[in-house]
Amino acid sequence: MTKMKEDSRWADPEKAARRIMEHARAFEPIQDGRIYIEKINYPMLYQDKATPAEYWAGLEYAKDKGWLEYHESGTFVRMLQPGKDLFA
């Protein structure tokens, strides 16, 4: 049985959510403020080396805080005003 790596920098959902928001902010939204999900999941998973569980926990945290709206199709998110306010 493999032991989970406990010292991951993204283990805290709030830290992961804030990093997701940085990635979302870096992308210029398209129509209706859409940010394609791959524009945040690729850098989070492959550059920042978050696990899928850490990424998903961060995304859930951002949704629960009202920072992001996650479209039911799973293809894009929208940054909401509270999320924009993180960078004000």
* In the chain, domain spans: 13-85
Poorest-pLDDT segment among 7-11, 14-18, 68-72: 7-11
Whole-Å CA distances, 54 to 6, 8, 30: 11, 9, 26
Which among 36, 7, 22, 40 has a CA at the least distance from the CA of 83?
Answer: 22
Q: What is the pLDDT of residues 24-48, one digit of tens each?
A: 999 988 999 999 999 999 999 999 9
CATH 3.40.50.10260, applies to 13-85: no
Which among 73, 10, 13 has a CA at the least distance from the CA of 37?
Answer: 73
CB atoms within 10 A of CB 87: 9
Which among 15, 33, 19 has a CA at the least distance from the CA of 69?
Answer: 33
Q: What is the pLDDT of residues 55-79, one digit of tens each?
A: 999 999 999 999 999 999 999 999 9
